Structure 1
Amino acid sequence: MADVEVFPLAQVAVPHSRPAPADVVAGKPTLGTAPITTLGDTGVEVGLWEMTTGAVRDVEVDEVFVVLEGAATISVEGAAPIAIKAGDLVRLTAGTATVWEVTAPLRKLYVA
């Protein structure tokens, strides 16, 4: 590995697929992940994640991400929904059950 690496994020293609039917709450969303690199031997992954419009259930891992494009609402049972949009930095805690309602196709850069 070089001392400095550049990853042109706009050129990274993220392959999409349909989530499991049991995870779909609304619409016909597709989603995908494109791992880009890891941080040394820590096992920490950096990558891109995308989702088209619709709503899905998920159980989170420890993650920090920046929304690059799009908009969504993240709901957690017992808490007010959180609206996110391009430019937002978000922290998720492992084991949190969420529902993602994407209103504009979402692209995020994650560290997990």
Structure 2
Amino acid sequence: MTTIDQVPAAPASFSVHVPDAELEVEPLDPEQIVSGDPVVTGKVLWESPDGKQLRGIWQITPGVVTDTEANELFVVVSGRATVEVEGGVTLRIGPGDACVLREGDRTTWTVHETLRKAYHISL
């Protein structure tokens, strides 16, 4: 079995164990933080040659943050959050939930337990 640490920069096929994959700190714009002291980490596992498709792992610790979304499909691996879409639905998400966010959605994430997700983004 090939792990992400062993694959070339743009692998055709690979596997990674999402729950314990090592992630890198991703700076969070202080203007996005509504409350708490959330920390974001992540790792891009694959990017298309034109940079318009991304697949990876993302994690955020408890707190409340705002964001403007890209077209994204993700599956929650662990943790819990409430995602309020401005002018739309409120999503209560936890392990095993698959979610779709639309490009331009303005969201408020209330992270109750450190949340880790595997995602695919289309830019």
Which of 5, 26, 42 is the matching residue for 1:33?
Answer: 42
Equivalent position of 2:63 in the other structure = 54
Report deviation, 1:3: 5.4
| TM-score (norm. length: structure 2) | 0.80
1:67 alignment counterpart = 76
Provide structure 2 residue ranges, at least 5 long, that are not aligned to the other structure.
1-9
3-state SS of the aligned residue for 1:22?
A: helix
Query: Distance between the aligned counterparts of 1:80 and 1:15, measured in 2?
Result: 31
Q: Distance between the aligned counterparts of 2:12 and 2:24, measured in 1? A: 28
Question: Residues 31 and 3 from structure 1, CA distance in 2 versus in 1: closer, same or farther, beyond 3 angstroms?
Answer: closer
Between the two proteins, the alignment pairs up a number of residues equal to 112
Measure the CA separation in 2 of the matches of 1:19 and 1:43.
21
Q: Deviating runs (4+, > 4 A) in structure 1? A: 39-42
1:7-46 counterparts in 2 under 5 A?
7-17=16-26, 19-38=28-47, 43-46=52-55
The percent of aligned pairs where both chains have the same amino acid is 30
Q: Which residue of 1 aligns with 2:5?
A: none
CA pair 28-9 structure 1, distance change in 2 beyond 3 A: same
Q: Which residue is 2:91 aligned to?
A: 82
Distance in 1 (CA, whole Å) between partners of 2:16 and 2:115 is 19
Equivalent residue for 1:99?
Answer: 108
Query: Normalised by the size of structure 1, how large is the TM-score?
Result: 0.87
